[in-house]
Amino acid sequence: MKHFLLIAISWVFTVLCATSTWAVSALPREKVLLDSDMVEAFDDGIAMLLLANAPNVELMGVTTLSGNSWVEMGTANAIRQLEQAGIRSVPVAAGLEYPLRPNRHELFALERKLTGRGHDLWTGSFGLKKPTNWQTAYKETYGTTPSMHPLAKHAVDFIIDTVRANPGQITIAAIGPCGNLALAVRKAPDIVPLIKRIIYMGGAFFQQGNTTPAAEFNWYFDPEAARIVVRSPFKEQIVLGLDVCEKVIFRREHYDRLIKTLANHPMRDMLRTSFAGQSFEKNPNFTFFVWDVLVSAVIIDPTLITESVECFIDVNDQMGLSYGQSLAYPQEAPLGVQKARIVTAVDSVRFWDLLNNLQYWQIKQ
């Protein structure tokens, strides 16, 4: 009798385990489109790899545009990092070369004199030489030829087609300037109600900007585009601006931990040679932020968000001292603005644990 009972219990246990594993793997995965001004490793590159590997996310594609880097370089960076991580199933589509305001790149030096600098000296492609094309950028940077290629389709059309093919299911992770998205919603306004939600890294609502005293880099790079997008009537908008991003400080201890986690992973070398890696290797007191990586982390685990406020939001597109500034209105707001949830705090201990969880670093050959 005792023997029979033991067999019965172990049978029930096996069935329960099998069903719960089945239940987890059968959960629908969050479909995410990543729109990025891609760099190596921190921050856009790591944000992309987290989403590509997360078991509860289906990364539908990566669209690139100028911002941190020229779009040609960003496309090469995206391709290279996907190759390194053995991820061949995620399409990459190249998008906008320039911000919407004509000749913005030529005017940037003058503008800088007008607005002054923020606390970050980074100016991205405003201060970099434009590569001829993505293949040259790849070859010159990595010394070899790519084994993957971006789609022939423009990023704007890729966004439109992906949203239309998956109505109500796509989360857009907007971790660069908003040019691709602005043109997508202008060209195909029907996609706005079809988008499940949009999560931005952009803006600095309750604190100073990083690129100018008033504005954060992504939204300052193309204020006209950011304004078009945040004013679109999406079902849900979530914003991670500098308000939360600058609370999660990236220190040498975090870098060392990640380097250990990435032992034997090809991304380890890329991290070491990236701007953040080199800076940590040279100076143990160096600090950095993880910006876009937080967007991916809260998509993977929304319980990381510990504080947020609901406001109507906008972006100043009037050229002047506050060009590109993000605006938050708790109650009364100008006509045409939309509501957003502005994240103001995350659980940073759990964030670093998530980043060091090996399930996000499996090489898929």
What does the alpha-carbon distance between residue 32 and residue 174 come to, in Å, rounded to a whole number? 10
What does the alpha-carbon distance between residue 230 and residue 247 come to, in Å, rounded to a whole number? 23
Q: Which is nearer to ligand RIB, 194 or 290 (CB)?
A: 290
Choose the contact partner of 234 out of Ca ion, ligand RIB, none; CB within 5 to 8 A by kind: none
- Least distance to Ca ion from the beta carbon of 38, Å? 7
Identify which range of 33-41, 70-78, 150-158, 189-197 contacts Ca ion by CB under 5 A.
Answer: 33-41
Site string for ligand RIB, 217-256 (x = CB under 6 A): xx--------------------------------------
Q: Which is nearer to Ca ion, 35 or 224 (CB)?
A: 35
What does the alpha-carbon distance between residue 88 and residue 105 come to, in Å, rounded to a whole number? 34
Choose the contact partner of 230 out of Ca ion, ligand RIB, none; CB within 5 to 8 A by kind: none
Q: Is 258 exposed, middle or buried (0-12, 13-18, 19+ CB in 10 A)?
A: buried
Which of 68, 171, 237, 274 forms a contact with ligand RIB (CB under 6 A)?
68
Q: Which is nearer to ligand RIB, 194 or 203 (CB)?
A: 203
Question: What SS3 state is found at 220?
Answer: helix
Identify which range of 102-110, 168-176, 265-273, 334-342 contacts Ca ion by CB under 5 A.
Answer: 168-176
Based on the shown chain and the rule CB under 6 A, indicate whether residue 176 belongs to the binding site for ligand RIB. yes
Based on the shown chain and the rule CB under 6 A, indicate whether residue 64 belongs to the binding site for ligand RIB. no
Question: Locate tokens 């060209």: which residue?
Answer: 187
Q: What residues from 9 to 48 belong to the interface with ligand RIB (CB under 6 A)?
A: 37, 43-44
Q: How far is CA 156 from the centre of its chain?
A: 17
Based on the shown chain and the rule CB under 6 A, indicate whether residue 99 belongs to the binding site for ligand RIB. no
Question: What SS3 state is found at 206?
Answer: coil
What does the alpha-carbon distance between residue 162 and residue 157 come to, in Å, rounded to a whole number? 8
Which of 30, 35, 44, 72 forms a contact with Ca ion (CB under 5 A)?
44
Based on the shown chain and the rule CB under 5 A, indicate whether residue 175 belongs to the binding site for Ca ion. yes
What does the alpha-carbon distance between residue 95 and residue 35 come to, in Å, rounded to a whole number? 9
Based on the shown chain and the rule CB under 5 A, indicate whether residue 35 belongs to the binding site for Ca ion. no
Q: Nearest residue by C-beta to ligand RIB?
A: 217
How would DSSP label each residue in 240-270? E-HHHHTTSEE-HHHHHHHHHHTTT-THHHH
Q: How far is CA 33 from the centre of its chain?
A: 10
Choose the contact partner of 210 out of ligand RIB, Ca ion, none; CB within 5 to 8 A by kind: ligand RIB
Q: Closest by alpha carbon to 268, among 257, 256, 259?
A: 259
The tokens describing 262, both together, are: 């990435």
Which neighbouring-strand residues pair with 309? Answer: 342
- Least distance to ligand RIB from the beta carbon of 221, Å? 8
Residues that bind Ca ion (CB under 5 A): 37, 44, 175-176, 292
